[in-house]
Structure 1
Amino acid sequence: MNLIIVPFHDWRKIKKEGFRTRDAHFIESLQQSNRIEKIIIINRPTTLLEIVLKKKKRKIEGRSIFNRNGFQLIEVNPTTYIVDYISKDIYGQIMRKFLWFIDEFSNDKYIDFINECIGKLQICTYNLLSQNVFAHKLISKLNPQKSVFDAWDNFCLIDDYFSIKKQIKQGYVSYSQNVDLWITNSRDNIDYFSKEFNLSEIILIKNGLDVNRFNLNANYRIPKDINNIQKPIVGFGGKITQTINIELLNYAILNNPEVSFVLIGQILDDEIFESIVKLNNVHYLGDKFYDEYPNYVNAFDICLVPYYIEENKKSGTNPIKVYEYLALNKKVIGTNGNGLEDLEGYLYLIHNKKELSNEIKRGIKNEKPKMDFNKNSWQTKTNEFLNLLQ
């Protein structure tokens, strides 16, 4: 089977941070599948300004096969190819922001180049997986045997995209008309998308676990910047965004001064980060490369998923971090929602700030049974996806 993938995150970002997001995990797992012949990854358009400002490498590692006027086809391994597009339209990207990506994904010259690359790789038939709502115009101009849209998280509910909510909805409408099948990562998303876009069926494929990186038999080290932090450590590893319930987290911090709270991850919402009380028992260690991150999770004693459960504050998430926490046999405390209710047998669900604080006070012992991590591996998830195509 040949497969074209349109991920949400661009390849430079994936390589810089590690394969830690849902789209990156799908790519990494599909590369290892013996059911795949060739993978073409259609990279998100970018400009040199974005590359410089976000401190990414301009050159994508691999063998350049074909290039023309900012477009390039790169072989990154014997089965995987990147179609890359560096636009000269820096002014347009600055002025149009998110909307610029919708326009550039549908650039006729980019689409022509993509089709030319398919021909050069001697691919006669292919299936398509898009995980990018901004690429809906591109998808409508390709000709796969079967097409799947992965509607991970709900971009209609994410504050960063509120100003273009109308265009986001238009993207979802376009996918409802131009692909064969939708998959998503949470039941909340199934409910929302089914009603909002009149979809008769959406297949649930939840997030999974990287069983190679997160494994109790691995030889983890203790990083220097966490080694001297007083135990017990209550840890959170993930993006700091609107989904974090600040009231819940701050109450736990204030009422457990003897416990160290360690936060790791990108700050995507400065206001949320500034709202976290910065007492002596709070330690923000920055973002970590994904291959280093398991060492930190292993150093945690208790792991948190302190997310909002109110409908107007959720984003249809199904946290990957939960599976990673559980794989290292940590006591996991999370709010009742965001797909965690399906994992109730393996973690400690709480419904309010007092329950969270009290559960932390009960100590670090994890009395919950272990889940079957192979059934929740990314390889299992991508096999579910491939089965849908066949």
Structure 2
Amino acid sequence: MNIVVVPFHDWRKIILEGCRTRDAHFIGELTKTPGVTTLIINRPTTLLEILIKKKPNLISGKVILAKSNFKLYEIKKDVYLVDYVSKNMFSQAFTGYKWFINQYGNKQYLAFIKDCLRLLNMESKYCLLNQNIFAYKLSEQLHAPLSILDAWDNFLKFKVYKHLMPQIKAGYHTYANRAHFWITNSKDNITAFNKAYKPKKLVLIKNGVDVQRFVQNTVLPKPKDMQAIPHPIIGFGGKISQLLDVALINKVTKLAPNLSFVFVGQILDKQVYKQIIKRPNVFFLGDKHYDTYPIYVKHFDVCIVPYVVADQKKSGANSIKVYEYLATAKKVVGTNANGLEDLSEYVYIANTPQEFVNEINATENKKAPLVLENHSWESKTQQLLNLVNNASTN
């Protein structure tokens, strides 16, 4: 089976931070699956971006085809990567994400991708798995034998992309016309996407967990930046984004001065970060590589998901972190939204700040354990491959 994957995240970023996102997890499992040849079409970039974001020399492998600004790497057996590094640095700097959208329609880039498909004997038989809402021009022009959109989250609900609403809508409409079917990560998205875009077929494949990474019973030393933080530690591991319920967080940290609230993750929305009151019992430890992050989770006493519940504020998310928390067997407390409503058998749901405080003050987890083999990324990828096989034979 030949799979051509268009991830949302730049491959260099994935290497730099670890395979922690949905697109990276799917790619990781595909590249481990016998009988699958994977071609990754990397996000276009520039030398300036590579230097500014400290991402030089991260792609390893043998260059087996090169032309102008394009290269085809053989990463390992049956795994290949198309990389496009543009010299047009100023255009990217001035137009931002619109530059990426336009470059996915670059005729030279498209021609090189087709050359790669021919070289790898994939041209007439492959599945295009597009996980990037901004890469719709690629799906539009490649005419893949089988085309899938991974419509994870609803990008129309992200404030950070507000200036790109026309392009995002155009992307969804294009995928509705071009893709043979969509997959998505939440029930909210199924309702919203079916109503707005009516894709030919829409299948729910929720997020999963890297079981081996989070289940290991080895006791590892507490990270240095956690050593001075007193227990009980109430931990959140994830992006600081619009999904966080700031009002809830501020009330809970005030009501529970005896608890330490530790946030581990990247700050995506600076306004959200500024609104969180920096009380003496609140600690921000910054972003961590995915190889290191599980150590932090294992030193949490309770894991939390204090997400917004209002429909207009949600983004169709199905939080990966929840499955990772549950794999450690820690107590998990969250709000009734963003996929947690379907996990009430395993997660403690709090509807008010006081309920939240009551739950995090008791660290013992009395909920049923998650059946991990049903929620592993391996099982999620197998769901996808079963869909591809069925579509290919019909």
- If the length of structure 1 is used for normalisation, what is the TM-score? 0.97
Q: Per-residue deviation at 1:356?
A: 1.1
CA deviations 1:109-164 (Å, max 9, x no partner) are 00000010111122241111000011111111113221110000110000011111
Q: Does 1:308 align with 2:308?
A: yes
Q: Per-residue deviation at 1:198?
A: 2.3
The residue type equivalent to 1:212 in the other structure is Q
Aligned residues: 388
SS at match of 2:307: coil
The residue type equivalent to 1:359 in the other structure is E
The residue type equivalent to 2:144 in the other structure is P
Tell me if the contact between 1:194 and 1:200 (Cα under 8 Å) persists in the aligned partners: no
Q: Does 1:372 align with 2:371?
A: yes
Tell me if the contact between 2:181 and 2:199 (Cα under 8 Å) persists in the aligned partners: no
What is residue 71 of structure 2 aligned with on the other side?
72
What is residue 120 of structure 2 aligned with on the other side?
121
Q: Does 1:101 align with 2:100?
A: yes
Deviates more, 1:56-65 or 1:163-172: 56-65
Deviates more, 1:129-138 or 1:90-99: 90-99
What is residue 61 of structure 1 aligned with on the other side?
60
Q: Per-residue deviation at 1:345?
A: 0.2
What is residue 231 of structure 2 aligned with on the other side?
231
Deviates more, 1:140-149 or 1:168-177: 140-149
What is residue 388 of structure 1 aligned with on the other side?
387
Q: Aligned equivalents of 1:52 and 1:18: distance in 2?
A: 19
Structure 2: runs of 5 or more not aligned: 390-394
The residue type equivalent to 1:69 in the other structure is S
Q: Per-residue deviation at 1:48?
A: 1.1
- Equivalent positions of 1:1-390 (< 5 A) are 1-36=1-36, 38-123=37-122, 124-199=124-199, 201-361=201-361, 363-390=362-389
CA deviations 1:303-345 (Å, max 9, x no partner) are 1111111111111110000011011011101110111111100
Tell me if the contact between 1:220 and 1:294 (Cα under 8 Å) persists in the aligned partners: no
Q: Aligned equivalents of 1:199 and 1:114: distance in 2?
A: 26
Q: Aligned equivalents of 2:350 and 2:218: distance in 1?
A: 30
Q: Per-residue deviation at 1:219?
A: 4.3
Change (3 A) 1:59 1:14: closer
Q: Per-residue deviation at 1:216?
A: 4.3
Structure 1: runs of 5 or more not aligned: none
The residue type equivalent to 2:340 in the other structure is L
Q: Aligned equivalents of 1:114 and 1:201: distance in 2?
A: 27
Tell me if the contact between 2:101 and 2:137 (Cα under 8 Å) persists in the aligned partners: yes
Q: Per-residue deviation at 1:299?
A: 0.1
CA RMSD of aligned residues (A): 1.1
Q: Aligned equivalents of 2:341 and 2:221: distance in 1?
A: 32
Q: Aligned equivalents of 1:168 and 1:327: distance in 2?
A: 34
Change (3 A) 1:208 1:59: closer
Q: Per-residue deviation at 1:57?
A: 2.0
The residue type equivalent to 2:26 in the other structure is F
Q: Aligned equivalents of 1:132 and 1:250: distance in 2?
A: 34
Tell me if the contact between 2:260 and 2:281 (Cα under 8 Å) persists in the aligned partners: yes
Tell me if the contact between 1:48 and 1:58 (Cα under 8 Å) persists in the aligned partners: no
Tell me if the contact between 2:15 and 2:58 (Cα under 8 Å) persists in the aligned partners: no
The residue type equivalent to 1:197 in the other structure is Y
SS at match of 2:194: helix
